[in-house]
Amino acid sequence: MNRAHRAVEARRRWLLSTVLSTAVAGAFALPAAAQSGYPTKPIRLVVPFAAGGTTDLSARLVAEFAGRELGQTIVVDNKGGAGGSIGMEQVARATPDGYTIGMATVSTHGSNPAVYPKLGYDPIKDFAPVTNVVAIPSVFAVHPSVPAKTMQEFVALAKANPGKYTFASPGAGSLGHVNIENFMTLAKIDLLHVPYKGAGLALNDAVAGQVNAITDNLSTTLPHVKAGRLRALAVLGAQRSPQLPSVPTYAELGYKDMGEGGWFGIVAPAGTPQPVIDKLNAAIHKAMQNPDFKRKVEESGGTLMPTTPDQFKAQIQQAMARYARVAKAANIKLD
């Protein structure tokens, strides 16, 4: 090989080496930068429901305490509507860089996929689970005018009077609606559904006796139960609530297929680098160990539910399967 050929060959090898080095650096630039520098600016936490509710309160705990661990501000952004679907769609479509995350719930990632055929996101493909955070049970309660002291007595009344007793929900297709449809199927009873435009209105009419029964989060129902304005008959949770120790869970009553209640966790858009997911997971878990975080969760009637991303994904899949079955059995479909 003469000098000219050797020069050409050297030039070719140099170019090939440069191209390969650039490609490899580009492939790993985002994760490496994310792992070493993330976060370098405020993080947006989308809450798919209005301010003041259980989802919002859980998100604000994460924002406050995990923000301290990350050394960066986490800004809560309430984007309510369509049972949480509008806010979750925004998260799904956001840039997957760790600076937009969302508060996922059993509604957004369990019941909504079952009842909304035209849902604007896929609860599995469009998200990267980070961690579950809080489990908060719901309570089935009746107005004191209903002559039933226990769930067994209520079921007997309902069977003897099909369609007579009413139950309130925050709206058609809401988690409260789907949960009671599931209970009616399992208990083989027929209640009359009265949908409202929001949980607050439904609870107000249940307390006033305009409807006979309601299922709602423990945190909002508990004050009325303690005051005697409502009578709690069952808790939808993995275990009895310390705040209502005499009220059995649905599972104890023989209705295991009701599930284990509501949860509130953090997801990121699909494609978010794994180092970012890992850093968020670690920061949130450390935040959950803070005594003030724990105390505030307990005051809301909840329990901590730290998980790995894979464990949270499995919980989402379980909720989707359960509510798909319920929606099919009750023929619940919304546009």
Domains plus CATH for the chain? Answer: 40-135+261-330 (3.40.190.150), 138-258 (3.40.190.10)
Structure tokens at 49: 């429901």
Q: How far apart (Å, rounded) are the C-alpha atoms in residues 280 and 211?
A: 43
CA distances from 48 to 4, 24, 266 (A): 67, 38, 12
CB of 102 closer than 8 Å to CB of 128: no
For the chain, where are the E strands, in sequence order? 43-47, 74-78, 100-105, 127-136, 138-142, 166-169, 192-195, 213-217, 231-236, 262-269, 303-304
Q: How far apart (Å, rounded) are the C-alpha atoms in residues 218 and 138?
A: 5
Tens-level pLDDT at each residue, the chain (335 residues): 544 444 445 445 544 444 334 443 444 444 443 445 899 999 999 999 888 888 898 999 999 999 999 999 999 999 988 888 999 999 999 999 999 999 999 999 999 999 988 899 999 999 999 999 999 899 999 999 999 999 999 999 999 999 999 999 988 888 889 999 999 999 999 999 999 988 889 999 999 999 999 998 888 899 999 999 999 999 998 889 888 999 999 999 999 989 878 899 999 999 999 999 999 999 999 999 999 999 999 888 888 999 999 999 999 999 999 999 988 888 888 87
Strand partners, 127: 269
